Every structure is written in structure tokens, then in C-alpha cells.
Amino acid sequence: MVDTLTSPYFWGRGYTNDGMHKAADFLAAQFKAYGLQPMNGNTYLQPFSYPVNTFPGKMEVNVNGKDLVPGKDFIVAPETRAVNASGKLDQLDSIQYINRKSMVVFKMQDKLTWDVAPEVAPYSLILVDKKAIDDAPKKFNVNIENELIKDFKTANICGWVKGTSKPDSIIFITAHYDHLGGMGKDTYFPGANDNASGVSLLLNLAHYYAQHPQKYSIGFICFAGEEAGLIGSKYFTEHPLVPLKSIRFLINTDLAGTGEEGITVVNATEFPKEFAMMNAVNDEKKLLVKINSRGKAANSDHYFFTEKGVPSFFFYTLGGIKAYHDVFDKAATLPLNEHEHLFKLIIGFNEKLMGS
Ligand SMILES: [Zn+2]
């Protein structure tokens, strides 16, 4: 599943080549194939939209006469505007170089980390890996195209398995399926750890629970718009498809692809009883080497649920590869060493939540 979600067809599950839309359709079809019921009337989709700056076209950068490779040697800051220019660069500070006429800025970086922006800046900022060029940048030639989409349309994918005796109590399992998408015609960010790994775990759990209904209803949401600022999960909490009070607990997973050093649980200190339950399962079944406790944090899709009073955990795996928001976050190098243990941990934790 991680191979599939990170394939070029889905183009980084973002804003160009229809990547996020294809991923949404694929996930809804998976939910249907497993036998989940749609949560939004007769559809799995909960549509919403937001503005985003995108890079569907040219992405050419030459510095000191050398063509740089998109993604590997450079990225453009997500708010970058289109530019077709060449010329000389003046040093601005120890890491930045500017051409004032075209408002092109080069910034030297130790690591390239991409992101998503909702607007276009009055400049073009190009982040260059220090290892890509030998000397300070002196002259440049760039041709970059952008397209601001004021109303990018996407959807959360929502399904559930109705509970056998207490269907009005719901346990949610959530993971964002969007990633950063593509930068230019030839480069995309696969997002294997972030968050094809979490979506794959969610799908395995959805498949399992569809075949093994529980006392409580078990709901599944694949959120969109996470990388653009938790937009999909915020939208769900403002337009909930079930009463938020009926959510007994929400388990969000994001970055689930490693784990040789265990996991960290955000909100552990907020819900000590449940955190003890999770540790009890882990100790009984001998799953992960360590479960770290962390307080509240606005770092993934659990956040707006927590703020609305929904009890929730967000866990992420620790150890292993360090690729993050870059072109190296690939399926081939993702270890997935704790995938089965994470699956068993959640099944066991949910059993305890339901008091069985
Ligand atoms: Zn993520």
C-alpha cells in the first residue's frame, strides 16, 4: 500500500497532476471494497476547499553555470512567484544572495524541507543545498512557473463500521492522506513516511474491523489538507458528520513508518488513564521498545479535536530514516519495522477502551 500511495500516479498526493483527487478516489474505493459504510449520507467524501500556490510547469534553476536538480539540489519556497530571469547576485548576508531587479533570492541550506503555502509572495525564493555548488552563488538563470489556485477542491474520506451493541459510541482512527505534491513537471514528493505509512496502517485496521465489528462503532477518516495547516481535520470538527460528544476516543497516526526506537504519544499527559491502558497492552503483548509520553501539541490532525474536547492521542514512530518533507521520503527506504506491532497495539488498546 505504501508503494501504491507513493507511486508517480498519485504524484505526492498534492496539487498538480490531480494527485490528491486520485488518492481520494482510490481511498474511497478501498473503503467500499472493505465494506465500510459511508459516513456522509451515501458518500465517503466530505468536500471542502482552500487556496494554495502550486508549481505545475517549468522549474529550471542554473547557478554559476550549473543546472541544479529540483528536489535534490534546490527547492523553491512554497510562496514563490513565477520568474524568468538571469543576472548577477549580490550577497545579502552569510547565506542569502539577491538579484533586486527580478526579486530572486537564493538561500543556502543544510537540508531542504518543503511545505505548502496559501498565497504568492512578491519574490522568488530558491533554497539551495550547500552541497550542490562549490562556490557562493554569483550568477543565475531561472525559469519557474507557478499557479495560485484560489479554491482548491478536495475531501476528507470518511467511513465506519457500526457497533453491534453500542453504535452511538465511536472510536476514530485517523491519518492524513495528502502530502506536498509536485514541484515542476518532473519532481514529486512521495511522502512514504509522511503519511502513506499512517494511511496504510489505517487501511489495514479498516479492513480488519469491517470483518470483525465491535461493540462500539469504529470510524475511519483519511484527512486532506493536513500539510497546508490541518485544514481537513479543522473542517471536520466544524462540520462533524457525527456528534463530537459520541467520540469515545480518537487515535491519529502520522509518520508510522519506522519505530525501532518506539513511538511518542502526543496528549499522553492529557489522558493518563488511557495512556496507562496503552502501555499495559504494550507490556502484555511485548510490542514496541518504548512509548514516550508527550503533552499537547498542534502538530497533526488530532489537534482541533482535542481543542473541542474530544479525547485523543496522536502517535508517531521514532528511529530509523530521517527523511522529512523531501524527495528522499520514499517507500523503498522506509523500514516499516513496527507496522504489525502498531496494528496489534491499536487493536488491544481499543479492546481496553471498550472494556472487553
Ligand atoms: Zn504528516
Q: What is the pLDDT of residues 295-322, one digit of tens each?
A: 999 999 999 999 999 999 999 999 999 9
- Average pLDDT of the segment spanning 101-127: 98
Question: From ligand 1's centre to the CA of 22, what distance in Å?
Answer: 19
pLDDT digits (tens, 9 = 90+) for 230-280: 999 999 999 999 999 999 999 999 999 999 999 999 999 999 999 999 999
What pLDDT is recorded for position 356? 58
- The DSSP secondary-structure symbol of 324 reads -
* Residues ≥6 apart with Cβ < 8 Å to 240: none
Residue 121, all three cell numbers: 509572495
Question: From ligand 1's centre to the CA of 233, what distance in Å?
Answer: 12
Question: From ligand 1's centre to the CA of 176, what distance in Å?
Answer: 7
Is 314:255 a contact under the CB 8 Å cutoff? no
What percent of the chain clears pLDDT 90, i.e. is strictly above it? Answer: 99
Question: From ligand 1's centre to the CA of 253, what distance in Å?
Answer: 9
Amino acid at 306: T
Question: From ligand 1's centre to the CA of 227, what distance in Å?
Answer: 7
What pLDDT is recorded for position 140? 98
Q: Which helix (H) or strand (E) holds 299?
A: none
Question: From ligand 1's centre to the CA of 349, what distance in Å?
Answer: 23
317 alpha carbon, distance to own chain's centre: 14
CA angle at 191 for the pair 186 and 194, rounded to the nearest 5°: 160
Question: From ligand 1's centre to the CA of 332, what distance in Å?
Answer: 18
Question: From ligand 1's centre to the CA of 103, what distance in Å?
Answer: 32
Query: Residue 117: pLDDT above 70?
Result: yes
Residue 235, all three cell numbers: 473542517
Report the relative pairing of strands 166-176 and 247-253 from DSSP bridges: parallel
CA pair distance 247, 250, nearest whole angstrom: 7
CA pair distance 283, 260, nearest whole angstrom: 16
pLDDT digits (tens, 9 = 90+) for 146-201: 999 999 999 999 999 999 999 999 999 999 999 999 999 999 999 999 999 999 99
Report the sign of the C-alpha dihedral through residues 23, 337, 175, 148, in that order.
Answer: negative
Question: From ligand 1's centre to the CA of 65, what distance in Å?
Answer: 36
Question: From ligand 1's centre to the CA of 71, what distance in Å?
Answer: 18
Question: From ligand 1's centre to the CA of 287, what distance in Å?
Answer: 23
Question: From ligand 1's centre to the CA of 152, what distance in Å?
Answer: 19
Query: Residue 347: pLDDT above 90?
Result: yes
Question: From ligand 1's centre to the CA of 317, what distance in Å?
Answer: 12
Question: From ligand 1's centre to the CA of 36, what distance in Å?
Answer: 24
Question: From ligand 1's centre to the CA of 327, what distance in Å?
Answer: 14
Phi-psi region of 87 (alpha: psi -120 to 50; beta: other; left: phi over 0): left
